């Protein structure tokens, strides 16, 4: 009996001890309470002003993967340029970078005559289709459309023209520039603005033996010829646009060989492709996009690309020139759903933090990974994620950390068009835990504001924050419908893009991020020195 009383007494003392602990200490044991710290005294990286980019590809309707034909009429050759949803979707960005390119760009010729469709290639070819073309008349319509919608065009040139493929799979010989010159001369003579020219698509890192279609040194020599041609053709316009290359999968030796051969100032932008979720036919894609280890497995590549640029081509900058998460047209039931925004927004945050200027999404429309549906043109969830990023996240990237679990992904930028403001991106991958976020900043004036007592609701001087909470319809992360602050996002009767309105709250109010949800949080009164 005495021993039982002793145990009860000890339990009572322990209860008194824990109940008297400061709440800040208890909170550390609460998996839902997280401190997010933003270092806002300086920027750690900068993106391009048109960081968000999307691709329009060349695939014909006959392109199918895993029994699913998801391309329809979304090619640069047959895309309906009169579609009002398409026009509204691009215009909503104000300015948006559009990359015209993809696998079949190296099978395209440019012609003044009416153009035929791609032909099916032989079974042993590196390409599913061959012998494509685009007429100058079609190009003129494309340029007129994108120019009218405020798009910045990156155009991918055929870099295989004139080469002959050997028995080892490598295309030998020098690039023949004449057909490209014919096309570019038309562009220049008609004063059609192209922001940058990309030379070839996935001619390296293709996983074959050898792991390239064109030797890195030969490719570097061809880049010299390409740049010289651009300088010549653009002479009367004050100089050429940027040259981007190689648009392939990163292979360190090949990239270094290309840069050292081409030399100073030839390549302005180093592009590489990323499909870190693997095949679109993988049945585990949903598990992958909610796994922080899988999401972060590409960081090493981002850093290696930047290291290669620093050591071999410091005059150039890094872009992700194409990324759709899952390759081979994307994952049906994943790439066009809410869940894919876990991957997409996390990549945008990661890439910008790791010194990349632009991220080109595969695709604007086409395949299962389009920002727009390939049949209806209706925006998929990732479209709204991209638009919110474009409107909220400025070019200045800030250091951010947190003391919470790995399933919280956090990023911070200077707020767009808001001097001193900071915008956070918070991604909660947990399927059960609501996170209560405490924000700490290096700027003392902001710390004083968020720690001050709550002011009256009618006090106009009270510090506010804007919240944009993204959740899936009915809680199903594989839904193709996204909610913003509880309201379904969709087109109106005129096919206009909906307003993306924030919820304005007092800065001292609790900030909660629900399970399997995403939040942009704009702190206009952060008073960040780095963002002024």
Q: Catalytic positions, please?
A: 202, 322
Across 202-294, the runs of DSSP E, i.e. the strands, are 242-248, 269-274, 278-279
Residue 282: strand, helix, or coil: coil
Rg of the chain in Å (alpha carbons): 26
CA distance 142 to 77: 9
Of 240, 248, 302, 301, the C-alpha closest to 265 is 240
DSSP β-ladder status, 326-327 and 278-279: parallel
Question: What one-character DSSP code corresponds to residue 418?
Answer: -
CA distance 307 to 101: 26
Alpha helices in 251-328 (DSSP H): 252-262, 285-289, 292-295, 299-312
CA distance 484 to 467: 10
Contacts of 459 (CB under 8 A, 6+ apart): none
CA distance 129 to 125: 9
CA distance 394 to 421: 10
Residue 34: strand, helix, or coil: strand
CA distance 295 to 339: 13
**Angle, CA of 115, 179 and 98, to the nearest 5°:** 70
């Amino acid at each position: 009996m005495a021993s039982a009383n002793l145990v009860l007494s000890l339990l009572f003392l322990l209860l008194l001890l824990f109940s008297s602990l400061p709440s800040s200490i208890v909170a550390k044991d609460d998996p839902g309470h997280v401190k997010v710290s933003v270092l806002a005294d300086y920027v750690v990286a900068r993106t391009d002003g048109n960081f968000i980019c999307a691709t329009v590809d060349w695939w014909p309707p006959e392109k199918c993967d895993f029994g699913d034909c998801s391309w329809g009429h979304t090619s640069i050759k047959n895309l309906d340029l009169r579609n009002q949803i398409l026009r509204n979707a691009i215009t909503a960005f104000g300015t948006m970078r559009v990359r015209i390119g993809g696998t079949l760009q190296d099978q395209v010729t440019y012609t003044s005559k009416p153009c035929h469709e791609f032909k099916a290639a032989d079974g042993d070819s590196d390409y599913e289709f061959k012998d494509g073309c685009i007429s100058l008349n079609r190009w003129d319509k494309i340029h007129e459309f994108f120019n009218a919608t405020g798009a910045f065009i990156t155009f991918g040139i055929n870099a295989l023209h004139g080469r002959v493929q050997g028995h080892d799979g490598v295309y030998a010989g020098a690039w023949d520039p004449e057909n490209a010159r014919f096309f570019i001369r038309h562009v220049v003579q008609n004063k059609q603005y192209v922001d940058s020219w990309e030379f070839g698509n996935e001619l390296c890192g293709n996983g074959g033996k050898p792991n390239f279609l064109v030797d890195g040194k030969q490719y570097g020599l061809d880049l010299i010829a390409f740049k010289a041609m651009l300088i010549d053709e653009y002479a009367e316009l004050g100089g050429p646009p940027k040259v981007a290359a190689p648009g392939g999968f990163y292979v360190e030796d090949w990239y270094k060989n290309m840069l050292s051969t081409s030399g100073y100032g030839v390549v302005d932008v180093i592009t590489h492709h990323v499909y870190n979720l693997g095949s679109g036919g993988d049945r585990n894609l949903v598990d992958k996009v909610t796994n922080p280890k899988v999401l972060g497995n590409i960081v090493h590549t981002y850093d290696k690309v930047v290291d290669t640029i620093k050591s071999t081509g410091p005059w150039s900058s890094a872009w992700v020139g194409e990324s759709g998460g899952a390759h081979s047209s994307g994952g049906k039931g994943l790439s066009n759903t809410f869940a894919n925004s876990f991957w997409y927004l996390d990549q945008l945050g990661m890439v910008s933090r790791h010194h990349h200027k632009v991220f080109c999404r595969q695709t604007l429309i086409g395949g299962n990974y389009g920002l727009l549906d390939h049949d209806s043109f209706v925006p998929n969830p990732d479209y709204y994620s991209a638009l919110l990023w474009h409107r909220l996240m400025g070019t200045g990237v800030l250091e951010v950390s947190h003391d919470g679990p790995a399933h919280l992904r956090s990023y911070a930028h200077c707020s767009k068009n808001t001097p001193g403001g900071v915008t956070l991106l918070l991604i909660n991958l947990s399927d059960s835990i609501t996170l209560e976020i405490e924000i700490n900043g290096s700027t003392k004036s902001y710390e004083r504001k968020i720690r001050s007592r709550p002011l009256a609701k009618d006090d106009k001087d009270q510090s506010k924050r804007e919240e944009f909470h993204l959740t899936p319809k009915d809680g199903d992360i594989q839904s193709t419908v996204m909610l913003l602050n509880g309201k379904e996002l969709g087109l109106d009767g005129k096919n206009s893009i909906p307003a993306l309105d924030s919820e304005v709250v007092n800065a001292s109010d609790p900030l909660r991020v629900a399970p399997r949800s995403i939040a942009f949080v704009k702190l206009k009164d952060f008073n960040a020195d780095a963002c002024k």
